[in-house]
Structure 1
Amino acid sequence: MNKTLLILFLSTLLNAQHFTFGLYPSNTPEKIFKAFLPFTHYLTQTTGDTYELIITRDYRELAQRLDNKTIDFAWLGSKNYIDIKQNVKDLQYITTYMEEEKFTHQITPYYRAFIVTLKKNNLYTLKMLKNRRFAFTDRLSTSGYAYPNKILKDNHINYQNYFSKYFFLKKHDRVIEALVNDSIDAGAISDGTYYAAVEKYGDIFHIIKQSDKIPLDVIVGSSTIDTIHIKKLADILNTIDVNSTALKGIKEHLGWNAAGFNAHNKELYDVLQKALE
């Protein structure tokens, strides 16, 4: 290594920063860790900074840590983003996560929420779920609560007195497990969770209702992060190839059809906010 290269290398090391990257636990922490560790490794390799993966206990902790500035960057569900930005001043939008649509193969910033049952139980309508057992994920989940509850309300159903029992199981996978084990009769999940479940268990589920299109997740930065590092991360994320190692773990361990990022969809979340009002 010649003198000039050595100076550049040492300069890069001296200027490198350590950042924390927070994620909400949509599935088990072990699965989330395996899915996103290649992603943060990729960010470390391409930015020259160090990105430490942090998985919070729940949605609330992630919001609190963004508020008290103990997390630098975060991957948020769309409703979480709407809720958090109302309370966390100067939260910086960076980009929107994209997926390849299952059947059309179109790259899109949208997904859907499903209300599902088991085919063997012959429950095919919301009306047939009266006095049955139902599970959501978390009250702060977009596809595991907000949109499924909107579906119920649009059909004049108050889940608190419509179902014999209702549960908040925290994780999308837990809803599937409860359904397969006959602990519940129906549940609310994301479409990605549904497709992964079909891969695992076979064609045993029935979709009773599906939501309108929901904007996908968003990457944000804390107000403490300078514009140089915000732009650096945005540029890297928005040019990630669909076959990149950064997305490999997400596809393998979560079953999401990850297809990169797009920073031109910020207005999608204003539409979502109006839909949930």
Structure 2
Amino acid sequence: MRAIFFIFLFMLNSSLFISGCGFGDSKPYIRFKETEQLQQVKQSSAKETIQPLRIVVSSVLPYKETSGYYRQIAEHLAIQIGRPTELIQRQSNMEVSILLANGGADIALFSTGTYVSYAESHTLEALAMQQRLGTPFYYSYVVVPKDTDIITFASLRGKSFAFTDTLSFSGYLIPSYMLKRSAMTPEQFFSRYLFTYSHMKSLRAVAERVVDGAAIDSSVYEYAKENSPELIDAVRIISTSMPIGTGPVVVKKNMSEDQKELLRSILLNMHHNVDMRQTLKGLMIDRFIAAKSEYYEYPARITQEMRSQL
């Protein structure tokens, strides 16, 4: 049943992305390049033959604006472990999870939705999680254009809507769960909907009235306050979820214990380095902290309930 669930999500990702691109074609920010961005960080030419530590991310923040910070983290890891690192960026959470599962990456920065969806496989281990703005939690916000008469999620019935990614807890699973509680599906509730594969693109789609509403990560909302305040000025929050544990840094459980402990120690102490403190700040991360399973109980329960309807 679990395999059927993930095949369904993958097919849903593909088919709805195609239909989404057809909606609002005049807006280029809902199209995506298919080529991956790859950055290899080498510690020294003498160690080029050593197998690099492959790090895969699908950033909740705009990747073009934050890719330099991820490269700095990769460089820091290379220095600390004495081994080259390779940074791989993927567009969707599904691609990140498949890459890690198939052995194409060694360590991944997972979204919360991806982590709880795959936790039952018992093949992954969370080394650390992010503390952002003083807390290990974030929220799912439903936003609408500021000058509309939409005041509740129920008011979005018959309107257009933007999801981010089918494995995004804040950008897909939470609003889908809200519909499920009303015995509705997105097809029944919305006039049309699309997937943007980016919380910032979803926010922009609402601000520019490409859609009537969207579900986004609160971290992206806070990021936009500092970097794109015009978007915040154009939207209004109408729904806020319960607190959600931030996305963890995960590895395969079969990685050696020594390697896992080394990586965990580097992550948990990264904020003590003055330069890395600024790097983390650029990603809106205060520091990495120990991952606590209880912080994921709420998203795990919602994900399980959503899975039971398939």
TM-score of Structure 1 vs Structure 2, range by shorter chain: 0.7 to 0.9
Match of 2:217 among 190, 193, 198: 190
Relative distance call for 1:152 and 1:246 in structure 2 (3 A) is farther
Measure, in 2, the Cα distance between the counterparts of 1:166 and 1:233.
40
Residue number in structure 1 paired with 2:299 = 272
Following TM superposition, by how much is the alpha carbon of 1:28 offset from its aligned partner in structure 2, in angstroms?
Answer: 4.9
Following TM superposition, by how much is the alpha carbon of 1:166 offset from its aligned partner in structure 2, in angstroms?
Answer: 1.0
Following TM superposition, by how much is the alpha carbon of 1:21 offset from its aligned partner in structure 2, in angstroms?
Answer: 0.5
Relative distance call for 1:132 and 1:35 in structure 2 (3 A) is farther
CA contact (8 A) 1:136 1:144 kept: yes
The TM-score, its normalising length taken from structure 1, stands at 0.82
CA contact (8 A) 1:151 1:211 kept: no
Following TM superposition, by how much is the alpha carbon of 1:157 offset from its aligned partner in structure 2, in angstroms?
Answer: 4.7
Q: Does 1:140 align with 2:167?
A: yes
Residue number in structure 2 paired with 1:4 = none
Count of residue pairs the alignment pairs up: 257
Residue number in structure 2 paired with 1:246 = 276
Residue number in structure 2 paired with 1:237 = 267
Following TM superposition, by how much is the alpha carbon of 1:96 offset from its aligned partner in structure 2, in angstroms?
Answer: 1.3
Match of 2:151 among 116, 121, 124: 124
Measure, in 1, the Cα distance between the counterparts of 2:240 and 2:280.
23
Q: CA RMSD in A?
A: 2.7
The TM-score, its normalising length taken from structure 2, stands at 0.74
Q: Write the deviation string for residues 47-89 of structure 1: whole angstroms up to 9, x where unpaired.
A: 32222111123222211111111100001011201222334x5
Residue number in structure 1 paired with 2:130 = 97
Gaps of 5+ in 1: 1-9, 101-106
Determine what percentage of the aligned residue pairs are the same residue: 24
Larger radius of gyration: 1
Measure, in 1, the Cα distance between the counterparts of 2:272 and 2:237.
29
Residue number in structure 2 paired with 1:83 = 117
Relative distance call for 1:266 and 1:128 in structure 2 (3 A) is closer
Q: Does 1:220 align with 2:246?
A: no
Given residue 119 of structure 1, which amino acid in structure 2 is its aligned partner? K
CA contact (8 A) 1:143 1:188 kept: yes
Given residue 108 of structure 2, which amino acid in structure 1 is its aligned partner? A
Given residue 95 of structure 1, which amino acid in structure 2 is its aligned partner? A
Relative distance call for 1:250 and 1:170 in structure 2 (3 A) is farther
Relative distance call for 1:186 and 1:251 in structure 2 (3 A) is farther
Relative distance call for 1:110 and 1:242 in structure 2 (3 A) is farther
Q: Does 1:207 align with 2:237?
A: yes
Higher relative contact order (CA 8 A, sep 6+): 1
